[in-house]
Structure formats: C-alpha cells, structure tokens
Amino acid sequence: MRLHKLRGFLVTSWLALTMASTAFGQQASSLPQRNRTEKSNSRCRKVWTNDDVAALRGPSDVYIQQKLAADERASGAKKAALEQANRQPTTQERPSGANFVMPKTVESRTAHHRETRTN
C-alpha cells in the first residue's frame, strides 16, 4: 500500500513540474519577435575576412601550421639537393681524363676495345 501511495505522489509531482515548465516556456516565447532577431543578428557575422579566421585559430593550430611550413621547407631543400646530386655533369664539368662516353651495348664495347688495341 505504501508503494502505491509513493508512486501516486511521484506521478503527481512529475505532472505538476512539467505543467509549470511549459507555463514558463510559454512566457519566454511571448517576447516580442523583434528583440529576438536583433540579438541573433548581433552574434551572427555575414562576411568573414582572413583576419577574422586567423583570430579564431588557437595556439595548437598555429603550432601545426608552423610545423607544416618547416616540413615543407625541409622537403624542398632535400628535393633541391637530390636534384643537384642526380644532375648529369656536362662535358665541361667532367675532369680532363673522363671525356669518354659509355657504350650502349656489349658489342659496341668490344668493337671499340678492338680498335683501341690495334692503334
């Protein structure tokens, strides 16, 4: 019997609370519509500039951008060094004793070898 009374009390209190919250909610919605739109428009920005976006970035975003820029510079330097190393030297850059051209096939090599032996 006690449990039945407790359940009835809980249901009644729940109904009273929901009715009270809806009554307060209706009072808030009865505010003039103009005041609401003015408040919402003051918070909303229509046009964002680069300065505005930069102001939104936090310290972690700035750190990540700096790290990416440093990595990009390092990879550019590595790429330039690799290109410099892989660049074929021209005949002017070769030492005086290295003015030769490698033969393309074995047959041409043996023919060239025979010519140099006979001379």
What are the tokens at 110? 């043996």
- DSSP state, 98? G
pLDDT of residue 75: 92
pLDDT digits (tens, 9 = 90+) for 71-105: 999 999 999 888 888 876 555 555 555 566 676 78
> What mean pLDDT do residues 5-10 have?
86
pLDDT of residue 31: 53
pTM above 0.75, yes or no: no
pLDDT of residue 71: 95
For residues 16 and 99, what is the distance between their CA atoms, to the nearest angstrom? 103
- Output 31 or 9, whichever has higher pLDDT: 9
Q: If you write DSSP's letter for every residue of 82-97 in order, what string do you get? A: HHHHHSPPPTTTS-GG
- Is residue 59's pLDDT more than 80? yes
| Domain ranges, ordered by start, for the chain | 55-84
